[in-house]
Structure 1
Amino acid sequence: MTRVRVLAVALTATAALLAGCGYDATPLPKPKGDAGSSPAPAATPVECTNPTQSYDPSNDKAAAVKQLTNKGRLVVGVSGDTYKMGFTDPTDGQLKGFDIAFAQAIAKALDVTLDLRVISAAQRIDMLKNGEIDMVARNMTVNCDRWAQVGFSAVYYNATQKVLVGSDEAEKYTGPASLAGKRVCAPTATTSVANIKKIEPDVIPVEAANHTGCLIKFQNSEVDAITGDDTVLAGLAAQDPYTAVPQQEKLTDEPYGLAFNKDDVALVRFVNSVLDQMRADGRWTGIYDEWLKPTLKVAATPPAPVYGR
C-alpha cells in the first residue's frame, strides 16, 4: 500500500502558524520561591493507594490565585498538535480542543488571564516542578509514580489505550499478539511506551516527540502501528483515511487529570470545585459533544470524582 501524506499541507500550515502565533514567545514565569513571594506550605505526603483520588474541592478562589506563579495569569501547558484534544486550528491559528476548553473554564473561574504554552509530553512534569507553568491540560494519565512528582485534579476524562493500524490491516488485527515483531510508535515519556512493551514483549517500540511524529513515521512506512489513548488515535484516524482504529479490547485504562506543582494544593482544590460545577451544569457534556463525540462516535458521561487525599 502506498501511504499518502494527507497531512503534509495541514502540518506545514500548523507549523507556520505556531511560529507566528507567539506561543514560544510567551514570557517565562518566575520560578516558584522567588524573592518577594511567600512559599506555600508543602503538601503532606500521602500513600498512593488510589491514583484517581484527589483533594477535596474548595471554593477558596483567593487561596488558589495566590499560588499562581505570576499574578493575574494562569499559565497552562497544552498540546498544539493533538487533533480534537489540543491543536492549532490552521484556519485561524487558535489553540482549540477538549483540553483547551477545560483550561479556558478554569481561568474564567479564577478570573485571571489564560496563557497557553505549547509543550511536549516529555516536558510536562519538569515544567510544573520548575514553576514554569501552573497547570498541565495535555491528556495526562494519573498514576502513583506521577503523584510522587506532581499533584492532580480529580479525573476529568477516562480514556483507554488502543492501537491504530493501516486501514488495510484493520480486519486482520486480533489484539496485541498481532504486533509481535512489528514496529509500534508512541510518544516519548508517555505511559503508552511502557504499556505496549509490557503487554507484548516482542513489540519493537519506536518513539517520537508526539503522536503527529508517529503519524509521519507511519506514513513514511517507518513503523507498522501507533499506540496511544483512544482520544488521540481517533483524531489521527480522522486526519488520515489510510489509517484505522480497529475494533479491539482496551489495552489499559488511562484516567486523565489536570496536573499541578505538587505544593499547589489550594489551586488543585479550587479546580476540583470548578470540575464539579462543570459536571453538574452540563458544561462537561457540551465540551465532550463538541470535541470528542464526533470522532469517538459514542456518548459519554463525566467520570465520578474521588476525593479524600
Structure 2
Amino acid sequence: MDGPDATTTTGRPVAPGRRTGRLRGWGGVGSMAAACALALAVTVSVLLCPGRDAGHRAGTSGTGVAHARQAVATRSCRGPEASLRPSAAAGPAVRRIQARGYLVVGVDQSSYLWGYRDPATGRITGFDIDLVRAIARDLLGPDPRIVYKTVPTDERIPAIRSRQVDMVVRTMTVNCDRIRQVAFSTAYFVAGQQLLVPRAGSEVTGFDTSLKGKNVCTASGSTGQALLDEGAHGARVVLVPNQLDCLVRLQLGQVDAVLTDNALAAGQAAQDPAVHLIGAPLTREPYAVAMNPADTDLVRRVDKVLDDYRGGGASGPWMRAYTKWLARDLPGVTGPPAPRYRD
C-alpha cells in the first residue's frame, strides 16, 4: 500500500487548475479502457473492464414512464436521505482509521468527471475524488494517505459490509433498499435516471413503448437496473459491471440505449459527442457517502465534513469542484442539496 501509485496515494491533488483535456469519441473511451486494463495489474480489488460478458433479460411491455415512476414510488420509504446529525467527535471508527494511518475508500475509475483514471497521470481523479480528499484531510491531517479500491457497482455494498473499505464514494444513490444495508451521509449531489442514445438513427424516444424489442444497457446492482426491472417497457435488459461498459456497447451497436444517472451520462456524452440524453429524468437520485451501519461516529464525522464542504457559496469547496468538473457538461446547478437529518 505504500507510495503514490494507482490505488494508494498521498491525497495530494493530481494536477493544479482546470481538469485535463476532454476525452472524445473512440479516443476517449479507448484511453479509459486502456487505463482500466492497466489498473487490473495494480489495483487492490479488481475492477471489471469493458468487454466482459454481460447478462440479458427481457423486460415486459406496458405503459412506460408512468408505470416506472409508480413502481419506484411503491418501493419508497419515508425520508431515506435523512442522515445522522454532524459531529466532529472521534469515536471508535474514526479512531480506528486514525490509528491505522490511512483511509480506505471504494471508488470508480471509469466514470468520467466523477471518478476516473486520468490517462495523462495514471491517477484517479474527479468530483467524487475531490470529496474523498476533503474527508481524508479532516480525519488524518493535511497530507493524508488514501487507499483507493476500485469496486464495481454491484460490489459496493458487500465491500462496505465486509469492511474491505471504510466508505464508498462512488455516485451511490440513497434509496430505501440500500439504507437497510448500509449507512449514508447527507446527500452531496442530486441526479436522475435518464436514457442515453445515439444522436443519429435512434428509434428510442423515451422510457416508453419505443423501447420494445430494443437492447437497453445498465450496470448490475444500479438504480437503473431496479427501474428497468419494475418498468413495463418491452426492452431486453443488458447488465454489465460498470456504466462505461454500456457506452462501449452503445458505440459498437450492441445496445440501443443506456439507462443511467444523468450525471454519469453527461460524462459519457462528454467523451463521445455522437451520443446524447433524451427525455426527462425518471427519478430523483441523491448521491451520498456510504459506510458501515455500525460506524455511526464516522457517519456523523463525514456529515460534519459535508457541512463545511457545502459552505462558502460560489467560492466554497463544493461549488469550486462543481465548476471544475461538472458545470460544462451538467449546467444549471446552483448549489449543493440541503442536508436532511433524522435525529
For normalisation by structure 1, the TM-score amounts to 0.85
Q: What pairs with 1:25-44 in structure 2 (closer than 5 Å)? A: none
1:24 aligns with 2:56: no
* Of 149, 166, 171, the match for 1:117: 149
Q: What pairs with 1:1-309 in structure 2 (closer than 5 Å)? A: 5-7=26-28, 9-19=30-40, 22-24=42-44, 49-61=78-90, 63-68=92-97, 71-111=100-140, 112-169=144-201, 173-246=205-278, 248-281=279-312, 282-309=316-343
Residue 327 of structure 2 aligns with an amino acid whose one-letter code is K
Q: Alignment partner of 2:177: what SS?
A: helix
User: 154-163 or 170-179, which moves further after superposition?
Assistant: 170-179
1:219 CA displacement: 1.6
Counterpart-to-counterpart distance in 1, 2:232 and 2:121: 42
1:147 CA displacement: 1.0
Counterpart-to-counterpart distance in 2, 1:25 and 1:217: 24
- Contact 1:52/1:255 (8 A) holds in 2: yes
Q: Deviations over 1:36-88 (max 9, x none)?
A: xxxxxxxxxxxx62100000100113555224397122100000000001000
Q: Deviations over 1:178-219 (max 9, x none)?
A: 222211100011110121342333121111111111112112
Q: Structure 2: state its 5+ residue gaps.
A: 1-24, 47-76
1:294 CA displacement: 1.5
Counterpart-to-counterpart distance in 2, 1:172 and 1:71: 51
Change (3 A) 1:176 1:6: farther
1:174 CA displacement: 4.4
Aligned residue pairs, count: 283
Residue 333 of structure 2 aligns with an amino acid whose one-letter code is A
Change (3 A) 1:103 1:68: same
- Contact 1:180/1:200 (8 A) holds in 2: no
Counterpart-to-counterpart distance in 2, 1:5 and 1:183: 21
- Contact 1:52/1:142 (8 A) holds in 2: yes
For normalisation by structure 2, the TM-score amounts to 0.77
Q: What RMSD in Å do the two structures reach over aligned CA positions?
A: 2.2
Change (3 A) 1:188 1:25: closer
- Contact 2:209/2:233 (8 A) holds in 1: no
1:140 CA displacement: 0.6
Residue 31 of structure 2 aligns with an amino acid whose one-letter code is A
- Contact 2:126/2:325 (8 A) holds in 1: yes
- Contact 1:120/1:210 (8 A) holds in 2: yes
Q: Deviations over 1:252-275 (max 9, x none)?
A: 111111000110000000000010
User: 291-300 or 164-173, which moves further after superposition?
Assistant: 164-173
- Contact 1:64/1:266 (8 A) holds in 2: yes
Q: Deviations over 1:98-122 (max 9, x none)?
A: 1111111000011142111111111
Q: Alignment partner of 1:245: what SS?
A: strand
Which residue of 2 is the match for residue 29 of structure 1? none
Counterpart-to-counterpart distance in 1, 2:319 and 2:290: 21
